[in-house]
């Protein structure tokens, strides 16, 4: 089975203060590119945050003191735009992440140049487990695969690292890539 070419993917996970990109903010960005892990915490105003979102992403447990948070958004935006250019974004519901990241990058005058073909590990894992997507944790429990549960819920700094390290998800990505390649017969759709 062919391996995933990591030079063509960027594993991404964002933490936000809510679900609405017009109203809420990114407070943490995690990225793995070519085996290198990057993490940025950004200063945010939590007065307008969704308290449920802060509870789910454990904001108050994980946020760093303001003195340790990256205040140079321009530098972070440049590096993220450069590292993701031409790559497939991989994550748990990456459409959510790029929905926040694209306007954030543009606010610093950078144009996102990642591939429009996003790779959702939830969808791939659901196909592998033969169940409907419902969040990685719930799918792992429903699928009854303890190694997948352990891999996904490891304290590997979030979805992006767990996705990269999960052999089950990598196998599903390989299988989906091989099937797509056979179906497209080299056509670039």
What is the pLDDT of the chain when averaged over all its residues? 79
Query: For residue range 34-51, what is the model confidence (pLDDT) as tens digits?
Result: 989 899 999 888 999 999
* Residue 112 token pair: 């996102």
Q: State the residue for tokens 């091989």.
A: 178
For the chain, the farthest-separated pair of C-alpha atoms sits apart, in whole angstroms, at 53
Residue of higher predicted confidence among 17 and 154: 17
pLDDT at res. 151:
54
- Count of alpha carbons within 13 Å of 65, Cβ hemisphere only? 2
With vertex at residue 161, the alpha carbon angle to CA 51 and CA 50, rounded to the nearest 5 degrees, is: 10
**Mean pLDDT throughout 88-114?**
95
Pairing of strands 88-91, 9-16: parallel
* Residue 69 token pair: 């948070």
Query: For residue range 132-151, what is the model confidence (pLDDT) as tens digits?
Result: 888 777 776 776 665 654 45
Distance CA 87, CA 110 (A): 16
Orientation angle between helical segments 136-143 and 121-129, nearest 10 degrees: 10
Provide CB contacts within 8 A for 139, sequence distance 6+: 122, 125, 126, 129, 131, 133
Query: For residue range 147-176, what is the model confidence (pLDDT) as tens digits?
Result: 654 454 443 334 545 554 454 445 544 555
What is the band of 185 on the pLDDT scale with cuts at 50, 70, 90?
A: very low
pLDDT at res. 162:
52
Quote the strand ranges of 36-112, DSSP E: 36-41, 88-91
Residue of higher predicted confidence among 14 and 131: 14
Residue of higher predicted confidence among 126 and 61: 61
Distance CA 32, CA 35 (A): 6
């Amino acid at each position: 089975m062919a391996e995933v070419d990591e030079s063509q993917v960027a594993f991404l996970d964002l933490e936000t203060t809510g679900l609405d990109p017009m109203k809420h903010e990114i407070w943490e960005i995690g990225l793995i590119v070519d085996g290198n892990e990057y993490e940025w915490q950004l200063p945010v105003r939590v007065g307008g945050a969704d308290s449920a979102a802060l509870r789910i992403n454990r904001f108050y447990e994980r946020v760093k003191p303001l003195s340790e948070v990256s205040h140079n958004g321009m530098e972070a935006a440049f590096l993220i735009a450069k590292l993701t250019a031409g790559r497939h974004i991989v994550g748990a519901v990456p459409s959510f992440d790029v929905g926040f990241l694209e306007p954030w990058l543009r606010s610093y005058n950078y144009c996102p140049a990642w591939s429009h073909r996003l790779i959702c590990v939830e969808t791939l894992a659901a196909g592998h487990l033969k169940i409907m997507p419902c969040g990685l944790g719930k799918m792992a429990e429903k699928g009854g695969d303890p190694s997948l549960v352990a891999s996904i819920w490891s304290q590997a700094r979030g979805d992006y690292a767990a996705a990269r390290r999960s052999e089950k998800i990598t196998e599903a990505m390989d299988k989906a890539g091989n099937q797509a390649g056979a179906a497209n017969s080299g056509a670039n759709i």
